């Protein structure tokens, strides 16, 4: 075997090196009084360097006979996810300082990120599945990391059980694809499916079943309806930083991978998976919005918000084009900064209010903490798609990508999504109403945020305001997608 092929996997190699460095530093600093701050700074610097590596190593490359394939779009997505992971690590530092889990937390986060890298760069179903499991199993440990809380242990158990079941369903789907095509390579499977479609007017039942089972497995990672039942309980029980990581980084990697595989492998079966997407998108956006209105616990509320946002992200896949890939990456980028801004504020309030995340505790929040309330409002407005914030542009681009498909069904789905945007605006405004309008005799006390929180919020707020007006961001993603 030619080991020089590993040089084509530079982002993965450098991330493995970063993981080893953090592992060694965790042992080396075990007796140091400044272990927390030193390890946090080291991890942040490594993630900054990793983001730069992903941005520079953007040339298309292959390794191991096409099992590993990277493109400019894949490199751009790795930049987005690595930058998002950096924000998560920054916002988690206050919580980690109290619980002393910093070494384990950073190593598990970097391990899941490595799995996402492999998953997105896979050109073979085996590497894809290994990457998926590498990204999923450590997350169960992260979810259950707050071991003194019953909800955290319960959330970890629910996550690992549903993840195991979804992996089994996906493996069954992959086995059906292998049975029908005789290969696990994406390109070879696509050619086999194209040959089948040339000789028949319909796809074989075996391949349709494989597509459905495969889609179901990744639907769990995306928490699309009806694969969403684990989401609310897991988000509520997990530490807030982990919930933020699950809601954006994990979801973004799964969305990009699903988009790539549907276009690469199942391009000749577009008529089948597009209608599968139509159903799941409409169900995800509508049901999640209706359930979000009923929530009184903020992390459960954001869980249903993330299910709805997953539906909007998958709208970009409907177009089956480079514009759709660009819209998906742009939506993920905007979603990362907006959603992490919300979770950063939730984390601050949770750390200073005895761990409560009830929505009623935010009544009168603007009176005592006007800056945090204002930043929370900007993030919520972006999630709702209100102009001139970046969220409005991200929704516009996914609508445009879906409408480009040109069919009556696509127009109907876009119209339903537009109506649901109004519903989502209503429930996001419920939080704004609590912060600015509702009065209480016992509002949250005024508290000063630490430097890490202020830095994370500054990055997120800059992204919310600037990503919508800086055309260079969309131009960079368009060029990466080959548009």
Which of 237-246, 329-338, 356-365, 373-382 has the least mean pLDDT? 356-365
Closest to 349 in 3D by CA, of 258, 457, 255 = 457
Place of tokens 């616990």: 297
Alpha-helical segments (H) within 246-269: 251-264
> How would you label 425-434 residue by residue, b for 16+ Cβ within 10 Å and e otherwise?
bebbbbbbeb
- CA-based torsion, 93, 94, 98, 99: positive or negative: negative
Which residues share a beta bridge with 63? 68
Q: What gap in Å lies between CA 154 and CA 86, rounded to an integer?
A: 27
**Per-residue model confidence (pLDDT) at position 93:** 85
Please give the C-alpha separations between residue 277 and each of 259, 319, 405, 414, in angstroms, as whole numbers: 11, 11, 13, 12
Q: Write the pLDDT tens digit of every residue in 247-287.
A: 889 888 999 999 889 888 887 788 888 888 889 999 999 99
Q: Write the pLDDT tens digit of every residue in 80-97.
A: 999 999 999 998 888 887
Coil, strand or helix at 230: coil
Task: Tell me: pLDDT of 205 over 90.
Answer: no
Place of tokens 């494989």: 210
**Per-residue model confidence (pLDDT) at position 85:** 92
Enter the DSSP assignment of 8. G
Q: How many CB atoms lie within 10 A of CB 84?
A: 27
Task: Tell me: pLDDT of 201 over 60.
Answer: no
Please give the C-alpha separations between residue 164 and each of 28, 161, 184, 435, 446, in angstroms, as whole numbers: 35, 5, 21, 40, 44
Please give the C-alpha separations between residue 80 and each of 87, 331, 397, in angstroms, as whole numbers: 11, 11, 18
Closest to 307 in 3D by CA, of 424, 396, 198, 411 = 424
Q: What gap in Å lies between CA 362 and CA 375, rounded to an integer?
A: 14
- pTM metric for this prediction: 0.92
Q: How many CB atoms lie within 10 A of CB 233?
A: 18
- Residues 158, 233: contact at Cβ < 8 Å? yes
**Per-residue model confidence (pLDDT) at position 87:** 92
- Residues 88, 244: contact at Cβ < 8 Å? yes
**Per-residue model confidence (pLDDT) at position 198:** 67
Please give the C-alpha separations between residue 108 and each of 25, 138, 144, 191, in angstroms, as whole numbers: 15, 6, 12, 38
Q: Write the pLDDT tens digit of every residue in 283-318.
A: 999 999 988 888 888 888 888 989 999 999 988 888
Closest to 8 in 3D by CA, of 135, 116, 121, 85 = 121
Coil, strand or helix at 470: coil
Enclosing H/E stretch for 475 = helix 471-481
């Amino acid at each position: 075997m030619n080991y020089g092929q590993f040089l084509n996997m530079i982002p993965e190699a450098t991330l493995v090196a970063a993981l080893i460095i953090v592992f060694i530093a965790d042992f080396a600093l075990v007796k140091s009084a400044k272990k927390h701050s030193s390890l946090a700074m080291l991890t942040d610097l490594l993630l900054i360097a990793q983001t730069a590596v992903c941005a520079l190593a953007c040339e298309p490359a292959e390794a191991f006979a096409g099992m590993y394939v990277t493109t400019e779009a894949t490199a751009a997505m790795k930049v987005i996810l690595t930058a998002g992971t950096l924000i998560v690590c920054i916002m988690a530092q206050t919580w980690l300082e109290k619980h002393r889990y910093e070494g384990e937390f950073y190593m598990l986060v970097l391990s899941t990120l490595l799995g996402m890298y492999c998953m997105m760069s896979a050109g073979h179903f085996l590497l894809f599945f290994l990457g998926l499991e590498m990204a999923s199993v450590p997350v169960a440990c992260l979810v259950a990391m707050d071991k003194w809380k019953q909800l955290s242990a319960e959330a970890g158990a629910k996550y690992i059980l549903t993840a195991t079941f979804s992996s089994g369903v996906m493996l069954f789907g992959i086995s059906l694809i292998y049975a029908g095509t005789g290969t696990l390579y994406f390109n070879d499977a696509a050619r086999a499916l194209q040959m089948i479609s040339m000789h028949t007017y319909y796809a074989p039942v075996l391949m349709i079943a494989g597509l459905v089972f495969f889609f179901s497995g990744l639907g769990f990672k995306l928490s699309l309806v009806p694969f969403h039942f684990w989401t609310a309980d897991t988000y509520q029980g997990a530490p807030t930083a982990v919930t933020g990581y699950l809601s954006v980084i994990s979801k973004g990697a799964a969305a990009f991978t699903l988009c790539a595989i549907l276009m690469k492998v199942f391009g000749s079966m577009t008529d089948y998976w597009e209608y599968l997407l139509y159903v799941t998108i409409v169900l995800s956006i509508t049901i999640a919005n209706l359930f979000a209105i009923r929530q009184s616990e903020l992390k459960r509320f954001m869980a249903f918000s993330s299910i709805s946002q997953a539906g909007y992200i998958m709208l970009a896949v409907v177009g089956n084009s480079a514009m759709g890939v660009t819209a998906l990456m742009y939506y993920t980028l905007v979603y990362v900064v907006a959603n992490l801004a919300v979770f950063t504020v939730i984390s601050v309030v949770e750390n200073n209010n005895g761990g409560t995340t009830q929505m009623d505790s935010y009544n009168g929040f603007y009176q005592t903490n006007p800056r945090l309330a204002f930043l929370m409002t900007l993030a919520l407005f972006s999630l709702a798609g209100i102009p001139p914030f970046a969220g409005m542009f991200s929704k516009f681009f996914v609508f445009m990508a879906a409408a480009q498909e040109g069919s009556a069904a696509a127009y109907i789905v876009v119209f339903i999504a537009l109506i649901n945007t109004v519903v989502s605006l209503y429930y996001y405004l419920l939080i704004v109403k609590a912060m600015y309008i509702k009065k209480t005799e016992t509002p949250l006390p005024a508290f000063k945020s630490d430097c890490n929180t202020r830095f994370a919020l500054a990055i997120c707020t800059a992204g919310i305001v600037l990503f919508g007006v800086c055309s260079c961001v969309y131009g960079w993603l368009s060029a990466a997608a080959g548009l």
